[in-house]
Structure 1
Amino acid sequence: MKPALLLVPVLVLVVVLLVACTSSSSEPRPRQPGTLFVSVEQQSAWVRNFNPLFTGAGSRWPTRAGVYECMEVFLPSSGEWTPWLATAHTWSEDHRTLRFTLREGVRWSDGRPFTAEDVAYTFELLKKHPALDSGGAWRFLEEVRAEGTHAVAFRFSRVYIPGFSELAHQPIVPRHVWEKVADPVTFTNPEPVGTGPFTQVNVFRNQVYEMGRNPNYWQPGKPAVSALRFLAFPTNDQANLALVEGEVDWAGNFVPAVDRTFVSKDPEHHSRWFPLYGSTVFLYPNTTRPPFNDVRVRKALSMALDRERLVDIAMYGYTRPADATALNDSYTGWRDAEAANGAWVRHDEEAANRLMDEAGLTRGPDGLRRMPDGQPLELELEVVGGWSDWVRAGQVLVRDLRKLGIQAHLKTYEFSAWYARLQKGEFQLAISWSLDGPTPYTFYKWLLSPRTVRPVGEVAAANWHRFGDVEADALLTRFETESSPEKQKELMAGVQRRFSELAPAIPLFPNPSWGEASTKRFTGFPNAQNPYARLSPHAEPDSLLVLTRLAPREP
């Protein structure tokens, strides 16, 4: 236990020493006026990809919410929708048709007008190429048609009220460009044409890329920022050093002891905001592989974990242990008290050992647990190598699992390799995020619905643990047609109880929505006092509001 407890001060000391050693001898590299330096992805080298449609493509930020745009933007901090490419929407009386009124005067970055034909064509692409339809829009859509130049109608095959957010948040692409693309799944879109505030690729090299302003952006005088610049940082530590040293203006990084290492260095200009509005971080067991198909094993693994210690060591106390609903703080009004009180997320080594024994995974003379065929129970936990917070979390989890008699090992991968294995179900255990939406429907659909299960080897947008439950899905299906808020909450309480009963994935903690900013060169960042959007650049699509609100500081 001692080495683990020493991990926190040692890591803080490393950051502090790096800052001390560099601050007196180096200055941030020269930059063009109005250029905002952003740290949002950790990569050793950039790959030129601006495809907004294929979630498995690994497109560069801000492709999906900055180069391209959606029709409306949901803000978790307020629970409200903000019009964007669309100015209004209406439902038909039978909730089978949804119409969006599109904003007039919008042009693509090449000067061509944005019309309803572009919206209709985007959704036809999703229909023609199911790999692009990660949200499953064509599971509830029957037809999409343009009605003139500035209205588009979505005809549903069934009543599906949650479908609104799937449609409203879909990035829209230009028909006149994409109809010439042979394969939109593999297309890397090196010269993007979008409606967003930043569409021009000024520079693209292995270690740096820069996005310039859209010359035809529809918001007059915006963006005030002239360009976005991104340096390749292979690890969190390198990205954090650049932030602390003033080279980065806006970041979405996990920063150890952030108040000491970053905020206190320049309290007038440095700020951070970490609301628990991020996704929930899970330990995902691949339920297609024994013994993870046994709920007793999943709950035993969960009860073996000391979450209080986990959030203190790995997350520096920025968050809290997950309860048995796994919901983050943006869903506080939905949380069911009975489901939240499930004992299987509380640290209880005795109960964990008992469940493992009941599942037939008993200890041998050497104290190690064995599968029913006598083979040692050996598990590999996969994380992204450059994400220091998740690496530390993995180290803590592995130690806890070893106490349960499991030969657990931590395996790190570069992001692209890790994400490919996760999406295809080619792992045993993995730490990852959840998908979220305006209500808990999206969150639980991707945790529990058989409709979201993909075969191993096929790319999945989520439900990486590949679990489906018919009973939970029946409640989710009823939710899809229910417009009464009271009845929606009743149904979602039932879903939460089913989640707690089945433990399909193991919730660890709500992920803070990481956001750090320096106002030394730019102003207008959101914060707790002005929460017009989340500060984290990872928070898409509300990052669009930030990109269009920021402005260079007046001399």
Structure 2
Amino acid sequence: MLNLLTRRGRRLGAAVAASAALALAVAGCSDGGGGGTDANKGAANSSITIFNGATGTIVENWNPFTPTFLQPTNGLIYEPLYWYNFAAESKPTPMLATGYAWDGAGKVLTITTREGVKWSDGQPFSAKDVAFTFELIRKNKALNSTGISLASVEAKDDKTAVLTFTKPSFTDEAAVIANTPIIAEHVWSKISDPAKTVNQNPVGTGPYKLKTFSAQSYVMEKNANYWQPGKPQIQNVRYIALATADAASAALTAGQVDWMSAFLPGLEQLIKNQKNLTYVNTPALTASIFTCSGAELGCKGPQTDRAVRQAIYWALNRDQLNKLAGGGFAETASPTLLLPKRDQGWIANPNNLNTPGGPDVAKANQILDAGGWVKGGDGIRTKNGEKLSLTIQTVTGWSDFISLNDAMTQQLKEIGIELKPTQLSWNEWNNNQTQGKYQLSLDSIGLGASPNPYATYLKYSSITTAKVGEAAPPSGNYARYSNGKVDAAVAAAAATNDEAAQKAQYAIIQDEIVRDLPYIPIYVNSMLTEFNTGNATGWPSNDNKYALPASWKQWDNGIVLTNLKPAK
């Protein structure tokens, strides 16, 4: 999975499948991992089942440095030095580290590691593992998903690791301490190609370790060596893939799934008579049209024309899209790709705070006319013999995005753009984005390593992209966007710890990306997460959002699972 499901929320269909279909779906996922009330007789046999959006065949990959690692890799198996809770305003929570400090120039970061931690194979953890992790990243560009610029790494002793950067790197702090999985030197030093290994027998410090794996489901079991006393209390965690949205909805209401994140129309009515079902809403991700925009990096198609991207932005009727696909629960997005409510203080120009609700068809047509795109007899525009026809990809079963595509097809036709939706497996969809082998793609943006916009704006930087056909880093610049002013502003923001100075650089970035629109925002999706309290208690609630509860969210999934208790 993002992982790379960490960057998107899913809305699934509301219809409940027939009981026979449900039986087939759930039976097809069975691998002896437990699940259901009978399996939860005491903590020793406690188990829960999670659906994190996986559809179709699950491809094994526990390598946290690759774009297609399975989502529980980070949080259940591997842990960071610190963790940020995006569901509430909070300071970073110590995990594998207990302290850190920068030098005055922002080039040297000293980290104090936690004592008494063991790897899941029983070997001791130390600052040497931290140093090894960052040295491996320093030496292998393919592993450097956040573009940090390390000059050297050293373990002073078993409790102290020192990272030296080539330039001031204050804004890399969150990426370093809260978004880098720490790996075991005694394991990874024996791996010849760390960028390509699927890491079949992962060894981590997290609360769980891999028990069994199949193409339909996999089971994680409690790590008996976990460093937090008494945690976790749930023995087995089973992750399943379901064939359809209907099957997911049915599995929830039938008590076959304990944790899932999905928008279900009429949710309150659906669970009204289900005493063990509850939910929480934490909107945070901006549903967007990703465009392969960089012709100089190999992108091909009308979307490489800025005028086309601008016209799409203005032609969208977002109010209608919210009603048709968002169920009325979506919130207004910003063309800066920040969250208008949470990040208003980081948005320099008030005119860029919100996307328009309704369309401006006249403006969209004017932009295309000026760009030389001429309407033909069929109503579709052409330029220099090229038809303004665009393929947009999404994942089979992601019903909200499928509904968006259907509605946008009609909206864009009005200005002479032919939109051709296609549905793919998650693996194919994700690979296309990573490799740049697409024209348009529906995805979501948000949730960087910290509330600072730096991580979001790295998605526009040349240092986190690659030529078409080469893999961009996980959660990187999939748009293949290249802009010298943006690159310079990203670098300048990284060189200071002064928020006012950072805001000045982000203002430059915002001016450029609002004009160029390599990512076209639609709206901030609702993030509904559903829980079954019949097998486990201690889930996040609207009154206690101790973690971002989405079942697909990396890092937070480990926090949630360590807070659960078997239901009595």
Letter in 1 for 2:80: C
Q: Deviations over 1:95-153 (max 9, x none)?
A: 2111111000000011100011111111222233321221122xx21111111111111
- Maintained 8 Å contact 2:302/2:388: no
- Maintained 8 Å contact 2:301/2:439: no
Deviates more, 1:111-120 or 1:38-47: 38-47
Residue 15 (structure 1) aligns with: 15
2:205 matches 1:191: no
In structure 1, C-alpha distance between the alignment counterparts of 2:203 and 2:267, rounded to whole Å: 38
Structure 1 residue 337: deviation in Å? 4.7
Structure 1 residue 346: deviation in Å? 5.0
2:191 matches 1:181: yes
2:544 matches 1:538: no
Structure 1 residue 407: deviation in Å? 2.4
Structure 1 residue 342: deviation in Å? 7.1
Structure 1 residue 31: deviation in Å? 4.9
Structure with the larger RCO, 1 or 2 (CA within 8 Å, 6+ apart)? 2
- State how 1:263-274 maps to structure 2 within 5 Å: 263-266=271-274, 268-274=275-281
- Maintained 8 Å contact 2:286/2:445: yes
Q: Deviations over 1:349-392 (max 9, x none)?
A: 1111111111111111232211222x432211111112111111
Q: Deviations over 1:489-539 (max 9, x none)?
A: 343234323322322321111233342112122111112211111111222
- Distance verdict in 2 for CA 1:166–1:342, change over 3 Å: closer
- Maintained 8 Å contact 1:252/1:536: yes
Structure 1 residue 216: deviation in Å? 0.5
- Distance verdict in 2 for CA 1:239–1:16, change over 3 Å: closer
- State how 1:76-475 maps to structure 2 within 5 Å: 76=86, 77-137=88-148, 140-168=149-177, 169-199=179-209, 201-261=210-270, 263-266=271-274, 268-277=275-284, 279-287=285-293, 288=295, 289-328=300-339, 329-340=341-352, 347-373=359-385, 375-434=386-445, 436-438=448-450, 439-447=452-460, 449-461=461-473, 462-475=476-489
- TM-score (normalised: structure 1): 0.90
- Maintained 8 Å contact 1:48/1:188: yes
Residue 46 (structure 1) aligns with: 58
- Maintained 8 Å contact 2:54/2:241: yes
In structure 1, C-alpha distance between the alignment counterparts of 2:344 and 2:90, rounded to whole Å: 12
**What SS does the aligned partner of 1:37 have?**
strand
Residue 530 (structure 2) aligns with: 516
In structure 2, C-alpha distance between the alignment counterparts of 1:520 and 1:30, rounded to whole Å: 7
Q: Unaligned stretches of 5+ in structure 1?
A: 1-10
Deviates more, 1:117-126 or 1:333-342: 333-342
Q: C-alpha root-mean-square deviation of aligned residues, in Å?
A: 2.4
Structure 1 residue 343: deviation in Å? 7.2
Q: Unaligned stretches of 5+ in structure 2?
A: 1-11, 28-34, 41-45
- Maintained 8 Å contact 1:198/1:214: yes
Q: Deviations over 1:168-204 (max 9, x none)?
A: 12101111111111222221222211100001x3222
Letter in 1 for 2:383: M
Letter in 2 for 1:257: G
Moved over 6 A (4+): 19-23, 342-345
In structure 2, C-alpha distance between the alignment counterparts of 1:61 and 1:473, rounded to whole Å: 30
- Distance verdict in 2 for CA 1:154–1:343, change over 3 Å: closer
- Maintained 8 Å contact 1:159/1:481: yes
Q: Deviations over 1:380-420 (max 9, x none)?
A: 11111121111111111122122222222111100000111
Deviates more, 1:127-136 or 1:407-416: 127-136
Structure 1 residue 553: deviation in Å? 1.7
- Maintained 8 Å contact 1:122/1:173: yes
Letter in 1 for 2:272: S
**What SS does the aligned partner of 1:533 have?**
coil
Structure 1 residue 345: deviation in Å? 7.4
Residue 507 (structure 2) aligns with: 493
**What SS does the aligned partner of 1:233 have?**
coil
Letter in 2 for 1:276: P
- State how 1:18-37 maps to structure 2 within 5 Å: 18=18, 31-33=38-40, 34-37=46-49
**What SS does the aligned partner of 1:66 have?**
helix
In structure 2, C-alpha distance between the alignment counterparts of 1:459 and 1:101, rounded to whole Å: 34
**What SS does the aligned partner of 2:320 have?**
helix
Letter in 1 for 2:287: V
- Maintained 8 Å contact 2:317/2:357: no
Percent sequence identity over aligned pairs: 31
**What SS does the aligned partner of 1:185 have?**
coil
- Maintained 8 Å contact 1:513/1:534: no
- TM-score (normalised: structure 2): 0.88
- Distance verdict in 2 for CA 1:502–1:59, change over 3 Å: closer
In structure 1, C-alpha distance between the alignment counterparts of 2:523 and 2:79, rounded to whole Å: 30
**What SS does the aligned partner of 1:144 have?**
strand
**What SS does the aligned partner of 2:428 have?**
helix
- Maintained 8 Å contact 2:395/2:426: yes
Deviates more, 1:318-327 or 1:357-366: 318-327
- Distance verdict in 2 for CA 1:356–1:231, change over 3 Å: same
Deviates more, 1:295-304 or 1:467-476: 467-476
**What SS does the aligned partner of 2:288 have?**
strand
In structure 1, C-alpha distance between the alignment counterparts of 2:457 and 2:72, rounded to whole Å: 27
In structure 2, C-alpha distance between the alignment counterparts of 1:395 and 1:66, rounded to whole Å: 37
Residue 72 (structure 2) aligns with: 62
- Maintained 8 Å contact 2:281/2:542: no
- Distance verdict in 2 for CA 1:547–1:17, change over 3 Å: closer
**What SS does the aligned partner of 2:272 have?**
helix
- Maintained 8 Å contact 1:100/1:152: yes
Letter in 1 for 2:438: F
